[in-house]
């Protein structure tokens, strides 16, 4: 696992599996790419296109305010290939499968939010007692070719109480959050 701090998005820390990291290095080795010429550019671009542009400003404001109430500002992102083993959602790294629930449990206490950039072909879920978790509803990817294949996906935010929040209900949940006290 490689940890890359975003240069474009303050407080975003990307945990990239060794496999995804090796793919990014391959893009750099090939030379000029629209995806970027550094690891940070590639991972920031993936975060921006796969997650940030999809969730909108209400979700971003919710993350900021929920994190401020918990005195956490980091958004932790897991960028890995996904699958399922024995009915459990997993991420892949070096030809092995690991429990996504275990990864979330290990990292949630110190995060304002967790974003899973992990394919979810079977529509599985994970939970956290501490922080909202953003869960894709299917296989994820980026680019026009992906969209033209009708593989469009969206994120649902699962709250610590287990409630699922989507684009239709986020404004209601945002109004329920107390305003953070300015320091």
- In tens digits, what is the pLDDT along the chain, a chain of 183 residues? 899 898 898 899 999 999 888 888 887 787 766 666 778 888 888 888 777 777 778 888 899 898 988 899 999 999 998 889 999 999 999 989 999 999 999 999 999 999 998 888 888 899 999 999 988 876 665 544 444 444 566 778 899 988 999 888 889 989 988 876 665
Residue 32 pLDDT: 62
Decide: residue 16, CB within 10 A, 0-12 exposed, 13-18 middle, 19+ buried: buried
| Annotated domain spans of the chain | 2-165
Residue 106 pLDDT: 95
Distance between CA 24 and CA 10 in Å, rounded?
21
| Coil, strand or helix at 106 | helix
pTM for the model stands at 0.86
Q: State the pairing for strand pair 75-85/12-16.
A: parallel
Place of tokens 């590639």: 42
Residue 36 pLDDT: 66
| In contact, 110 and 74? CB cutoff 8 Å | yes
Q: State the pairing for strand pair 113-118/75-85.
A: parallel
- The residues facing 97 across adjacent strands are 92
Single out the residue of 27, 2, 34 nearest to residue 16, CA to CA. 2
Residue 181 pLDDT: 64
């Amino acid at each position: 696992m490689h940890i890359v701090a975003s240069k474009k998005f303050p407080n975003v820390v990307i945990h990239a599996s060794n496999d995804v990291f090796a793919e990014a290095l391959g893009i750099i080795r090939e030379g000029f790419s629209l995806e970027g010429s550094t690891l940070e550019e590639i991972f920031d671009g993936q975060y921006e296109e796969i997650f940030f542009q999809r969730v909108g400003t209400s979700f971003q404001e919710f993350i900021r305010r929920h994190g401020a109430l918990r005195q956490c500002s980091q958004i932790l992102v897991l960028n890995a290939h996904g699958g399922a083993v024995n009915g459990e959602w997993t991420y892949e790294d070096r030809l092995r499968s690991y429990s996504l629930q275990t990864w979330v449990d290990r990292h949630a206490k110190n995060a304002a939010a967790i974003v899973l950039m992990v394919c979810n072909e079977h529509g599985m879920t994970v939970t956290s007692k501490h922080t909202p978790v953003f869960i894709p509803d299917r296989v994820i990817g980026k680019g026009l070719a992906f969209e033209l294949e009708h593989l469009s996906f969206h994120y649902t935010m699962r709250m610590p109480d287990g409630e699922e929040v989507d684009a239709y209900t986020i404004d209601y949940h945002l109004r329920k959050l107390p305003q953070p006290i300015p320091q």
